[in-house]
């Protein structure tokens, strides 16, 4: 019921997926009500800090990019944000030597290990949560995302997500999770990002995927998985999309108590959903976790992984 931060400062380094540049990153303990703040070490003075909030998202092409009002940005934040959400870290300062979070192995697993090495401590302040009061939906091209209320006995986020690719190596996949630290670490955090070999050259000519490799992504050529050890889960693709969703939704600034349903979603539609949600002041409220009240919610059938009105 109380806010958390990490106990000790921890460090990691790696390359940026899109920049291809080596970057060092550290997580630092932070006081209550700080939230998640990125601080660029290569940018001087008051231009360096970037709040990890949905209204600071400036680009959602292939990753989520944040920027402050002085033009300082940091990209590919979604995997780290997912790890912070999954480990229920409310407050942390992230210092980084460049403009992109290191991709590590393409999942959130290395960041979870980093947080566990740092330790987690409670702070002497109550944890507020964003309670969804009525349904909000958005559409984007072939995708759709909805957030709706959950009952008062669930202070967590339920996610029901579908993906549908023409490529036979992926095809149609669906996944449901009632998000908790345990379920995130067990079922989601090790799922890696993925891409298609035939797209690599065009991406690199556009200045993207400069650091991508079989060490940090699942690579698909035609209908074949090129990674020597194959997949970590039979449905690793949809699990990674759930991971991205968790990270993007944590840019709400607090944990969400609600039910998310997504069909062919991505970073752009996740951010659009948060913007529409917070633009509707009657759709949500900020409340201490122990004061959640019952809201009429859909019934979740876990076996069929569908929300039934």
Which pLDDT score, from 0 to 100, does residue 243 have? 98
Q: How far apart are CA 191 and CA 109, in angstroms?
A: 8
Which pLDDT score, from 0 to 100, does residue 297 have? 45
Q: Tally Cβ neighbours within 10 Å of residue 308.
A: 8
Burial pattern 16-47, b for ≥16 Cβ within 10 A else e, equals bbbbbeebebbbbbbebebbbbbbbeebeeee
pLDDT in tens, 132-181: 999 999 998 889 999 999 875 567 899 999 999 999 999 999 999 999 99
Class of 129-190+227-308 in CATH: alpha beta
Q: What is the DSSP code (8-state) at residue 179?
A: -
Domain 2-127 matches domain 129-190+227-308 at the CATH topology level? no
Comparison of pLDDT for 12 and 18, the residue scoring more: 12
Which pLDDT score, from 0 to 100, does residue 295 have? 59
Which pLDDT score, from 0 to 100, does residue 152 have? 53
56 belongs to the catalytic site: no
pLDDT in tens, 25-63: 999 999 999 999 999 999 988 889 999 999 999 999 889
Which pLDDT score, from 0 to 100, does residue 30 have? 98
User: Per-domain residue ranges for the chain?
Assistant: 2-127, 129-190+227-308
pLDDT in tens, 223-249: 999 999 999 999 999 999 999 999 999
Percent of the chain with pLDDT over 90: 81
Q: Could you please report the per-residue DSSP string of 74-139?
A: EB--HHHHHHHHHTT--BEEEEESSSB---TTSSSHHHHHHHHHH-EEEEEEEPEEEEE-S-EEEE
Nearest residue to 80 via CA among 52, 49, 59: 52
pLDDT in tens, 172-228: 999 999 999 999 999 999 999 999 988 887 877 777 778 889 999 999 999 999 999
Q: One of 18, 190, 240, 267 is an active-site residue; which one?
A: 267
Among 121-130, 175-184, 284-293, the least confident range = 284-293
Comparison of pLDDT for 14 and 291, the residue scoring more: 14
Residue 226 has φ and ψ, to the nearest 5°, of -85, -20
Class of 2-127 in CATH: alpha beta
pLDDT in tens, 54-92: 999 999 988 999 999 999 999 999 999 999 999 999 999
Pull the structure tokens for residue 183: 């379920």
Burial class (CB in 10 A: 0-12, 13-18, 19+), 296: exposed
């Amino acid at each position: 019921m109380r806010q958390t931060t990490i106990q000790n400062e921890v460090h990691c380094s790696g390359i940026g997926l899109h920049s291809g540049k080596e970057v060092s990153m550290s997580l630092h303990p932070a006081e209550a009500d700080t939230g998640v703040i990125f601080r660029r070490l290569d940018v001087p003075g008051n231009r360096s800090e970037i709040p990890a909030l949905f209204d600071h998202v400036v680009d959602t092409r292939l990753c989520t990019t944040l920027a402050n009002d002085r033009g300082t940005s940091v990209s590919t934040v979604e995997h780290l944000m997912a790890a912070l959400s999954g480990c229920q870290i409310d407050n942390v300062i992230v210092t980084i030597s460049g403009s992109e979070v290191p991709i590590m192995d393409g999942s959130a697993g290395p960041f979870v290990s980093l947080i566990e090495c740092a330790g987690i401590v409670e702070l002497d302040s109550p944890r507020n949560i964003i309670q969804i009061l009525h349904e909000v939906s958005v559409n984007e091209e072939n995708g759709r995302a909805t957030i709706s209320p959950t009952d008062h006995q669930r202070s967590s986020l339920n996610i029901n997500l579908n993906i549908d690719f023409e490529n036979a190596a992926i095809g149609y996949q669906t996944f449901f999770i009632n998000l908790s630290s345990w379920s995130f670490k067990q079922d989601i955090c090790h799922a890696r990002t993925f891409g298609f070999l035939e797209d690599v050259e065009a991406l690199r000519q556009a200045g993207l995927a400069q650091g991508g490799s079989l060490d940090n992504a699942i690579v698909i050529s035609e209908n074949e998985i090129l990674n020597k050890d194959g997949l970590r889960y039979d449905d690793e693709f949809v699990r990674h999309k759930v991971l991205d969703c968790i990270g993007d939704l944590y840019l709400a600034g607090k944990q969400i108590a609600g039910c998310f349903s997504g069909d062919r979603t991505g970073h752009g539609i996740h951010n659009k959903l948060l913007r529409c949600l917070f633009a509707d002041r009657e759709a949500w409220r900020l409340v201490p976790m122990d004061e959640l009240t019952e809201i009429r919610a859909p019934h979740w059938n876990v076996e069929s992984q569908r929300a039934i009105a």
